[in-house]
Amino acid sequence: MFSSLSDRFDVIFSHLRSRGRLSEADVDEILREIRLALLQADVNIKVVRGFVARIKEKATGAELSKSLTPGQQVIKFVHDELVNILGGEPLKITYASRPPTVVLLAGLQGSGKTTAAGKLARWFKQQGRNPLLVGADLQRPAAVEQLRVLGGQAGVPVYSEASDPVTVAKAGLEEARRLGKDVLIVDTAGRLAIDEELMEEVRRISESVEPHFTFLVIDAMTGQDAVNVAEAFHQTLNLDGVILTKLDGDARGGAALSVKEVVGRPIAFASTGERLADFEPFYPDRMAGRILGMGDVLTLIERAEQTYDQDVAAKAAVKLQEGAFTLEDFLEQMQEVKKMGPLSGIVGMLPGIPKELKNANISDNELGRVEAIIHSMTLAERRDPALINGSRRQRIANGSGATVSEVNLLLKQFKEMQKLMKQFSGMPGMGRHLNKKKKRKR
């Protein structure tokens, strides 16, 4: 998501950086380009008007910083306004003094609400909480069963019964208190479109459990319709925030950039993939950085800390510095990287990545191909690639479904990496640093 908008901003800002001074006419031209880029991203027209007006006021009325060029100033103004319309500060989850903290999820059918419930339960569990899921969606066939499967994957129990949704929600709250659960997540039914029956049902459920947080689940692919849906639900439920799903899709981004300013409620969480782990709190400043091509290193670090095995990382670091890193170690590192999510998403978080690489179709199948090649080697070959002669290369290629040239390319790249790491290990101070790490390990 946001790729087309990011590309447009990249073109606009590349022209900006080449200018030493900006006249009022230059500013007007830049703002026209920004306005067009936002409208093409399906951002609400009122939001676009306010966005552009505030940037113009800053660019023409404020004293420019002496440490920044005029072009850099405009880029900073755009960044600050993007953070503003995306919500400003991230939503903070505060827990009820008398458990459980009740979270109600609402939304239209097909928005990914039930999946979001499972992901949210997993997130709460990672925060050290003890959640319970309640399946109050009794309209959609197999909705409760889907929630049970997701709950099983997240290690979170699910409560439901063959009754009416309001009774299920109330009974679920009592069950949470009985079991000593400190978070209750209620999944409600949706419809294909907003109607009186849907609103009345979700209103009655809300009254029965008195939620501390009410989140509307919105499919980011629905564009401007998502804003209309948010307004309608907000009138009935008084929303606390929005959960955006399918943020990894190719939507233009209008929903994410419009919902806060139109509805007055922030985006609380974002679903960035199909796995339960592909779910994270929404940080407006980080998303603004991604849109403007500045990367999102903080989220990348957090994701690595959550998924990367620290013992594996430490062992690999020592072997790299000692020049003893093998293809077996390389395979282990690749398997850790895969836990962090799709490669395209990881690349998108890196700052300064060229547009061509960022927009390239980086397939996770490439990692699978490399894994297959390494798995087709014997243990001795993985530990000492020098053993791999012509006949062995052919055998490895046949066993992995790859070509001999692909096997050769992997071996060549690995050899170059080993040379590079040996150079680093010989740098002054590197040995002392390594010895300190070893001492701490003891």
**Is residue 1 pLDDT above 70, yes or no?**
no
Residue 257 pLDDT: 80
The residue extents of the domains of the chain are 3-85, 101-291, 303-441
Superfamily covering domain 101-291: P-loop containing nucleotide triphosphate hydrolases (3.40.50.300)
- Per cent of the chain over pLDDT 90 is 29
Other beta carbons within 10 Å of 293: 18
Please give the residue that has the higher pLDDT: either 217 or 343.
217
Tokens coding 270: 């974002």
Contacts of residue 193, defined as CB under 8 A and 6 or more positions apart, other chains included, come to 108
Residue 117 pLDDT: 95
CATH architecture of the domain with range 303-441? Orthogonal Bundle (1.10)
**Side chain identity at 179, as an amino acid letter?**
L
Residue 250 pLDDT: 54
Q: 362-393, pLDDT tens digit by residue?
A: 555 677 788 899 999 998 998 888 899 999 99
Domain 3-85 top-level CATH class = mainly alpha
Report the distance separating Cα 83 and Cα 77, nearest Å: 10
Q: 174-202, pLDDT tens digit by residue?
A: 999 999 999 999 999 888 778 888 889 99
Contacts of residue 228, defined as CB under 8 A and 6 or more positions apart, other chains included, come to none
Report the distance separating Cα 137 and Cα 178, nearest Å: 22
- Poorest-pLDDT segment among 153-162, 215-224, 338-347, 366-375: 338-347
Q: 70-116, pLDDT tens digit by residue?
A: 667 778 888 888 888 888 888 889 999 999 999 999 988 888 899 99
Residue 262 pLDDT: 80
Structural contact between residues 317 and 332, judged by C-beta atoms closer than 8 angstroms: no
The angle subtended at Cα 1 by Cα 154 and Cα 108, nearest 5°, is 60
Residue 165 pLDDT: 93
Other beta carbons within 10 Å of 398: 13
